Amino acid sequence: MTFKDNWIVKNLLAALVLVAVLVGLATWGLNAITRHGKTVTAPDFTNLTVPEAEQLASHSHVGIKVTDSVFVRRLGAGVVYRQSPKAGSTVKKGRSIFLTINSIVPRKVVMPNLYGYSVIEARAELQNRGLNLGRLNYVKDIATNNVLGQKINGRDVKAGDLVVSGSTIDLTVGLGSEESTSTVPRLIGMKYVRALDALHDRYLNAGRVRFDEDIRSYADSMNAVVYKQDAMGASKALGTAIGFSLTLDSSKLPAQ
């Protein structure tokens, strides 16, 4: 009996081939499911209608899902107000981007209790309720970046109160050391909502917002991008207001 005629050897070889095929198929299937190594940049859907967002999503190889609505009086009905993940984020090809759109009529939501939350936790909770984070007002307290108060238009708002969806909530926040600082991020090329999020990520506030003459409506301001800003890269105290300028003229954007 030769080596090739040995049935044990034949069975072992057949088993090895089968295992190799199964491993290959499993690897291919896993890569296909997870789209391993295939990522795209999330586009900016702000101020687009849902059909416009669908078209942009198709061209950008992502999906969209409308999951919530807010009411912003000066913004067009049915257009995208916010998205998650944020514009510019790296996502897997085919990933769904969750959209919050501007509703036609205002609705009210229950104000959450943010006391003791970190700023990041508070912002996430507000966004989950269809509310917006406004100014961060720092006061001396041992609990740095923990929420000590919540206000609408300068008035205290209690947990459980009904507030209009899309309202801006200002937070009183603790500051354990006056030496606590943060680096001002680059805002150039960002739309207003994204620029505001970038500042809040660093525990900073939006300061004076300057508009080019070509910005004539609220919708224009939502489509405009930052082309100038104050103090980029500088180290500033937490809660510092950072001013910036918006334009619709992309030729004004500085070179990278």
Q: What does the pLDDT average to over 111-129? A: 95
Q: What does the pLDDT average to over 159-165? A: 94
The mean pLDDT of the chain is 88
Q: pLDDT, tens digit, for every residue of 37-71?
A: 589 999 999 989 999 999 999 999 999 999 988 88
Residue 176 exposure: Cα atoms within 13 Å on the Cβ side: 5
Q: What does the pLDDT average to over 155-175? A: 95
What percentage of the chain reaches a pLDDT higher than 90? 65
What percentage of the chain reaches a pLDDT higher than 70? 85
Topology of domain 181-252, CATH: Trypsin Inhibitor V; Chain A (3.30.10)
What pLDDT is attached to residue 166? 87
What pLDDT is attached to residue 38? 85
Q: What does the pLDDT average to over 126-150? A: 94
What pLDDT is attached to residue 241? 98
Domains 39-102 and 108-175 share a fold: yes
CATH architecture of 108-175: 2-Layer Sandwich (3.30)
Q: What does the pLDDT average to over 123-146? A: 94
CATH number belonging to domain 39-102: 3.30.10.20
pLDDT at 129 over 60: yes
Q: Is the peptide bond before 85 cis (omega within 30 degrees of 0)?
A: yes
pLDDT at 99 over 90: yes
In order, the DSSP letters of 104-145 are SS--EEEPP--TT-BHHHHHHHHHHTT-EEEEEEEEE-SSTT
Q: pLDDT, tens digit, for every residue of 197-235?
A: 999 999 999 999 999 998 988 888 888 999 999 999 999
Among 6-15, 93-102, 190-199, 246-255, where is mean pLDDT lowest? 6-15
**Would you say 184 and 231 are in contact if contact means Cβ atoms under 8 Å apart?**
yes
What pLDDT is attached to residue 3? 46
Hey, where are the domains in the chain? 1-34, 39-102, 108-175, 181-252
pLDDT confidence of 6, banded at 50, 70, 90?
low
Residue 55 exposure: Cα atoms within 13 Å on the Cβ side: 5
